Amino acid sequence: MGELIYCRKPIAANPFYIDEVGLNVYSLEELSYFIFHNPYLLDTSLCSMDLIQWIMKELDEKDVANQLKELLAENAPFHMFVGRLLSSCGYLTQAEIRQTMELVAFIENKSEGERKKIRADRLMEKNKIEDAIYEYENILLDTKDLSNVLIGDIYHNLGTAYARLFFFQQAITNFEKAYSYNQRKDSLKSMFYAIRCNRNELQFESAVQKYNISEEEAERYKTEVTEASTCQEITAYGKQMDELRSNYSSEELYEEHLNEMILDIQSKYNSMCRM
């Protein structure tokens, strides 16, 4: 799971499989690690007799299993079930357990659509953009129980994900859909930004007419994109390229170093987008 986890007791011979994320866990410590680092990926399917039986039979933790069985029988809130799990092995501190329970309680009070959106949003925050796109699009397959505002916000975030990958035409389409549902000015503004980034002047002017945008506002959108594309970080990168060229008397050495930098950028981009 990315790091060494110290287990105080023998691990299970047979793992518990978390179907929602396709993960095998072999101990309560490993399960605690997963819950603590991925609270937004949890759902109430974790509260199951399958898990309780695994804890009882594979880990021989009868007291823990019986306590969880009581919570399940009492139909206790999901965050209480999670809290008891996390308290069962001493892997997390009390502060960490309390923090995790608060997050789980926050999520369980949301609608199913809101919970799915929160999980997708967290994938975006972790730069797992392709995974976030998959989650957003999966939510939009069935929108009958979602409010127009929530649908619009999902389309907006989907547009943001595509824009981060420089797929500006897809971003434009999703921002426009977002505005049609949520009527938020931010979604409309983001659509104009994406059109400007896509360098399609005809499309920009057409959208200005379609959405009755004033000349002053249209110019402001253009200016804001121009300023963003000439920010200090970008101009500093340009200067770095100029300095790199002056540091090499040999064209071969310069091109070799430049290719290394390009491959590094390409690798980082590919880690974000594997499409």
Q: What is the DSSP string of 88-148?
A: TSS-S-HHHHHHHHHHHHHHHTS-HHHHHHHHHHHHHHTT-HHHHHHHHHHHTT--TTS-H
Token couple for 186: 């931010």
Q: For the residues 203-217, what does the mean pLDDT come to?
A: 95
- CATH for 112-228 is 1.25.40.10
* % residues pLDDT > 70 (the chain): 85
Task: Kindly indicate the confidence band of residue 176, based on its pLDDT and cuts at 50, 70 and 90.
Answer: very high
Find the angle CA(271)-CA(272)-CA(274) to the nearest 5 degrees. Answer: 75
**pLDDT the model gives residue 1:** 44
Residue type, 13: A
Residue type, 118: I
Q: For the residues 184-190, what does the mean pLDDT come to?
A: 95
Q: Say if residue 213's pLDDT is above 80.
A: yes
Residue type, 236: A
**pLDDT the model gives residue 265:** 64
**pLDDT the model gives residue 226:** 81
Task: Kindly indicate the confidence band of residue 275, based on its pLDDT and cuts at 50, 70 and 90.
Answer: very low
> pTM score, two decimals?
0.69
Q: For the residues 46-52, what does the mean pLDDT come to?
A: 91
* % residues pLDDT > 90 (the chain): 54
Q: For the residues 202-225, what does the mean pLDDT come to?
A: 93
Q: Which residue has the higher pLDDT, 264 or 98?
A: 98
Domain boundaries defined on the chain = 16-108, 112-228, 232-272
**pLDDT the model gives residue 79:** 93
Residues 6+ apart with CB under 8 A from 27: 5, 7, 9, 11, 12, 59, 89
Strand partners of residue 147:
none
3-state secondary structure of 23: strand
Which among 31, 20, 40 has a CA at the least distance from the CA of 108? 40
> What single DSSP character describes residue 46?
G
- pLDDT tens sequence across 62-109: 999 999 999 999 999 999 999 999 998 888 899 999 999 998 998 888
88 in Cβ contact with 28 (< 8 Å) = yes
Q: For the residues 153-170, what does the mean pLDDT come to?
A: 93
**pLDDT the model gives residue 274:** 45
Q: Which contiguous run of DSSP H or E holds residue 264?
A: helix 251-272
Distances from the Cα of 94 to the Cα of 7, 36, 65, 87, angstroms: 18, 12, 20, 8
